[in-house]
């Protein structure tokens, strides 16, 4: 079964829009796990526009499933991850002006940098994953960095699927097969939703984990958080 990790950034966005501590991100993480989520994902940015660095610290004691912290490995982010020691760190090449993640790593261009960062995290017992586009050369490049896993950036698939083009999943199938051949664990995320997750899961071999935030929270506004988490779990079985 593919694990569902719930990204709770949008809960922090809602909290920050009003000030105070409602909704409480730690309580939401606890509830999401109680409802069946098999992991919690956060993605702090340097400007802390949603998840704050202190949230990462506060969540450590309450996430008893898999704890995944995503972000660009700038010094402050690395210090945070080494302090908190989550289950997994997912390295994302965030552009400063981007609203959300919009590209995977160029693992060939940034090989030396990624090797250094990954070695540091692994030395502290933290599983590493690299956010990558479904390009075979980039997955081969990821293997050369020593990473434990890759996370496929799935926005292109989601866009094509919404247009009725099921063949848009083909690069992801090829990427998944190559990752398996290379001994890389496989995660996926970005714009996955109740509309497309079952199809994606059925097509992608060896998929260990999906991280879903924006769609899951939006769907929960209509259907309820507990119900939506259970719907994802049924589709991933």
Residues assigned a catalytic role: 43, 70, 190
* Rounded Cα distance, 183 and 134, in Å: 16
- 87, 127 contact by CB (below 8 A): yes
**Going by C-beta distance under 8 Å and a sequence separation of 6 or more, which residues neighbour residue 10?**
50, 213, 214, 217, 218
H or E element that contains 181 = helix 170-182
Q: Give the count of beta carbons closer than 10 Å to the beta carbon of residue 130.
A: 29
Burial class (CB in 10 A: 0-12, 13-18, 19+), 194: middle
Asked if 216 and 179 count as a contact pair (C-beta separation under 8 A), the reply is: no
194 conformational bin, left if phi > 0, alpha if psi -120 to 50, beta if neither: alpha
């Amino acid at each position: 079964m593919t694990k569902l990790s719930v990204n709770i950034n949008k809960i922090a966005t809602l909290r920050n829009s009003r000030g105070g501590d409602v909704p409480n991100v730690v309580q939401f993480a606890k509830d999401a796990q109680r409802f069946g989520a098999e992991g919690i994902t956060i993605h702090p940015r340097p400007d802390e526009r949603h998840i704050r660095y202190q949230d990462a610290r506060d969540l450590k004691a309450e996430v008893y499933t898999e704890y995944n912290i995503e972000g660009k490995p700038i010094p402050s982010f690395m210090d945070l991850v080494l302090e908190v020691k989550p289950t997994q760190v997912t390295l994302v090449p965030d552009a400063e002006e981007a609203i959300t993640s919009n590209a995977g790593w160029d693992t060939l261009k940034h090989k030396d940098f990624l090797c250094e960062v990954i070695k540091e995290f692994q030395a502290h017992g933290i599983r590493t994953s690299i956010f990558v586009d479904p390009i075979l050369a980039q997955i081969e490049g990821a293997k050369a960095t020593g990473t434990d896993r890759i996370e496929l950036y799935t926005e292109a698939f989601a866009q094509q699927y919404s247009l009725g083009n099921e063949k848009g999943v083909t690069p992801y199938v090829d990427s998944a097969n190559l990752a398996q051949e290379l001994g890389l664990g496989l995660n996926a995320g970005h714009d996955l939703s109740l509309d497309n997750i079952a199809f994606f899961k059925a097509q992608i071999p060896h998929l260990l984990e999906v991280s879903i935030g924006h769609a899951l929270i939006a769907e929960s506004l209509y259907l309820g958080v507990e119900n939506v988490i259970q719907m994802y779990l049924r589709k991933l079985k």
